[in-house]
Amino acid sequence: MKDNRILNVNSEIGKLRTVLLHRPGEEVENLTPDLLERLLFDDIPYLKVAQEEHDAFADTLRNAGVEVLYLEELAAEAISTSEELKMEFIHEFINEANVQSESLHKALVSYLLSFDNKAMVDKMMAGIRKEELSDYHSESLCDLVNVTYPFVCDPMPNLYFTRDPFATIGHGITLNHMRTETRNRETIFAKYIFQAHPRFKDKDIPLWFNRGENTSIEGGDELILSKDILAVGISQRTDSLSVEKLAERILFSDDTSFKTILAFQIPVSRAFMHLDTVFTQVDYDKFTVHPGIVGPLNVYAITKDPDNPTELKTTKEVDTLENILSKYLKRDVTLIQCGGGDEIISAREQWNDGSNTLAIAPGEVVVYSRNYVTNALLEKHGIKLHVIPSSELSRGRGGPRCMSMPLIRDDL
Ligand SMILES: NC(=O)NCCC[C@H](N)C(=O)O
């Protein structure tokens, strides 16, 4: 047993102790209609209200005894540990923002260094407009062609969905390679946090996946069904090859208890974006689900090959979600359909992340207020709800699970 571990997440529902959030900032105000599709938003949230809603979310968690950490604070603290590291971070950020010209790179370095570390991280997240750089002038062909484009570094409005860029699994993390360029830039903050923040540096944190890999995986597709079973979506955002790599590393590690990776093949569409968009666990035996995912589904169970324990074995199953979950969790399960299965209500509440709940303990979840039909059903099934306001946060197409990355949960 290693005693230098700091992360611990072996279920979706164990009592939540420590969680990572990001309070939405100026990056959300830098969204414009032209950018929405590329930056994966459907509308422009009103930042003031989004922040109030997010503060209510954080307070709800704190009032339930959860320690709330903020991505932006950890990142600033991490780079404050060494001047050399800070410069490395700044150069990497600028390169990944696709800045080609050397003079622009230099101008950005001196602009970023004019802020203190926390303000600099906030600025990087918010995006940098050309007009902010006093000596900006179009130089490269690319600059000249894009002369009307306002940004030198794009905003990162999806950062408040901390679930996706990295994900805790057991005592380790997947530092993810995201499907899209816009979200891939987000993973740089976690890289420096785990490398240098005093809370995490030199701790035993196995890296199950790294951001430089060339297949994609996102945290919304990683669900820890039990200490033995990890579910992963093969989805719009996660490649089957990533699941294989993950299985290889986790199942052959002596630092986890996982024995089976269940790969769920889900439709490739925005309404089904990640596995946690279509189902989340709310209690030992209860899940809230998108009616479109009840199946039959193609599910692939990956285990060590009993006949050749140095190899993996993959078995395909075609069955309903209920049967699959019952079989692997070894208990009867109840699937609570978002919107009660009513065609209109389900579609509406699903769109607003009605089945994306964050469990803070078995049978106790955080939900959006606007999904009142689904919420009433959850209560009917004995689930304790912590209801948070949701007019603006929901416009980014993510719910309480998407907006949180657990770092420590009690084991069940
Ligand atoms: N796990 C999740 O489902 N996260 C929500 C991510 C929403 C974000 N606008 C995106 O498209 O990536």
**What ipTM does this complex have?**
0.99
Query: Pairing mode, if any, of strands 172-175 and 166-169?
Result: antiparallel
Q: Is the CB of 51 under 6 A from ligand 1?
A: no
Look at residue 96 and tell me if it is in a domain: no
Segments of the chain scoring below 50 in pLDDT: none
| Average pLDDT of the chain to the nearest whole number | 95
Of 161, 179, 237, 394, best ligand 1 pocket probe by most atoms within 8 Å of the beta carbon: 161
Please tell me the distance from the alpha carbon of residue 77 to that of residue 14, in angstroms, as a whole number.
29
Q: What is the pLDDT of residue 2?
A: 63
176 found inside a domain: yes
Distance (angstroms) between ligand 1 centre and the Cα of 403 equals 9
**CA 274 to centroid of ligand 1, rounded, Å:** 8
324 and 297 Cβ atoms separated by less than 8 Å:
yes
The answer as to whether 160 is a domain residue is no
Residue 122 in domain: no
pLDDT digits (tens, 9 = 90+) for 24-77: 999 999 999 999 999 999 999 999 999 999 999 999 999 999 999 999 999 999
Q: Is 402 in the pocket of ligand 1 (CB under 6 A)?
A: yes
CATH number where 220 lies: 3.75.10.10
Residue 146, pLDDT score: 75
Ligand 1 within 6 A of 397 CB?
Answer: yes
402 is catalytic: yes
Mutate to test the pocket of ligand 1, among 31, 158, 235 (most ligand atoms within 8 A of CB): 158
Question: How many domains in the chain?
Answer: 1
Give the 3-state secondary structure percentages of the chain, helix then strand then coil, rounded to 5: 35, 25, 40
The pLDDT value given to residue 214: 96
Comparing CA positions, the residue from 276, 282, 287 lying closest to residue 362 is: 282
Which residue owns the Cα nearest ligand 1 atom 12? 40
How much is the pLDDT for 27? 98
Write the pLDDT tens digit of every residue in 199-258.
Answer: 999 999 999 999 999 999 999 999 999 999 999 999 999 999 999 999 999 999 999 999
326 lies in some domain: yes
| DSSP string for residues in 240-282 | HHHHHHHHHHHHT-TT----EEEEEE---SGGG-SHHHHEEEE
Residue 125 lies in a domain: no
* Ligand 1 atom with the shortest distance to the CA of 397: 7
Burial zone of 264 (CB within 10 Å; 0-12 exposed, 13-18 middle, 19+ buried): buried
Residue-wise DSSP of 141-210:
HHHHHTTT--EEE---GGGG-TTTTEEEEBTEEEE---SSHHHHTTHHHHHHHHHH-TTTTTS---EEE-
- Give 35's contacts (C-beta < 8 A, 6+ positions apart): 41, 154, 155
Range of the domain at 361: 166-409
Sorted by sequence, the CB contacts under 8 Å of residue 118 that are 6+ apart come out as 72, 73, 76
Does residue 404 line the site of ligand 1, with CB under 6 A? Answer: no
For 404, other C-beta atoms within 10 Å of its C-beta total 26
Residue 12 located in a structural domain: no
Residue whose CA lies nearest to ligand 1 atom number 1? 220
Task: Compute φ and ψ for 166, nearest 5 degrees.
Answer: -145, 160
* CB-based burial, 117-136: b 16+ in 10 Å, e otherwise: beebbbbbbbbbebeeeeeb
**Could you tell me if residue 257 is inside a domain?**
yes
Which helix (H) or strand (E) is 287 found in, with range? strand 286-289
